[in-house]
Amino acid sequence: MNCTIIGLGEAGAIYASALLRAGHRVTGYEPVVTTAPAGVDLAPSAADACADADMVLVLTGAGAARPVAAECLPALRPGACYADLTSSSPGTMEELGQGAGDVLFADVAILGPVIAQREATPLMASGPGAAAFADLVRGIGAPVEVVPGPPGAAMAHKLLRSVFMKGLASVVVEAVTAGRAAGLEDFVRAQITAMLAGDGQAVIDRFLTGTQKHAARRSFEMRSTSGYLAELGVPSEMTDASATAMERMAAARAQSVAS
């Protein structure tokens, strides 16, 4: 298959090399990087890179998604597949998909660090081109889940996942940093480990009910925690955000009871 990679940074180079090893022809375009993995044909423009492509993988930054699509989509033949792997919003993915015409557009969400997991990084795809994209990259060892819905559906899944994954990571960093500053890192790590090792669904249900019910009391505790972190010289963005969220929940609960 004739494959094109737009964006030959670290992630783009990883996918380009994997496609080459699988026997595909790979053409690439990258306005900043002037080198490419051995075997990749460098094109002078994004449109030229797409001229004979059966499959285009866009691995640029999200800010370039619209201009790249504007240049590449008109250069593709009907029935070719255009897979956007940028971290663009669901609305942007939907917009680009609607403007793809006879090109099969796929919204692809990357669900892990490509630098660490390389082509084995889990992916999620939606849109008319999702099945064709999945067939291609499964051949290089990439696990792909195709989800129903138009372009934007895969990215919606990813961003909702990020609320938890990135939020959890930030909370863990803040908690362990505070524990280290207080000389209690082992204790904090043990508390986190015990929570993550429990019954996941039961923990979720307890958080959903308990946080709402006890939001007023817990918001005061989190404000006290924030003050303690300040004494330790530790940033408290996540603690402050938790206190603010609980204050909002407490106010909403009080208003509900009053009405």
Walk across the sheet containing 55-58 and list its strands: 41-42, 25-29, 2-6, 55-58, 81-84, 104-110, 123-126, 144-146
pLDDT digits (tens, 9 = 90+) for 152-180: 999 999 999 999 999 999 999 999 999 99
Distance CA 169, CA 156 (A): 20
Distance CA 136, CA 129 (A): 11
Question: What is the number of other CB atoms lying within 10 angstroms of the CB of residue 217?
Answer: 10
This prediction's pTM: 0.84
Q: How far is CA 193 from the centre of its chain?
A: 24
Query: What does each C-alpha distance from 9 to 16, 196, 242 come to in angstroms?
Result: 10, 34, 36
Structure token digits, residue 231: 């004494």
Distance CA 24, CA 19 (A): 6
3-state secondary structure of 105: strand
Sequence length of the chain is: 259
3-state secondary structure of 107: strand
Distance CA 72, CA 43 (A): 13
3-state secondary structure of 56: strand
Structure token digits, residue 224: 């006290």
Strand partners, 109: 124
Q: Digits of tens for pLDDT over the chain (259 positions)?
A: 999 999 999 999 999 999 999 999 999 998 887 778 899 999 999 999 999 999 999 999 999 999 999 999 999 999 999 999 999 999 999 999 999 999 999 999 999 999 999 999 999 999 999 999 999 999 999 999 999 999 999 999 999 999 999 999 999 999 999 999 999 999 999 999 998 887 889 989 999 999 989 999 999 999 999 999 999 999 999 999 999 999 999 999 888 887 7
Per-residue model confidence (pLDDT) at position 60: 94
Per-residue model confidence (pLDDT) at position 255: 85
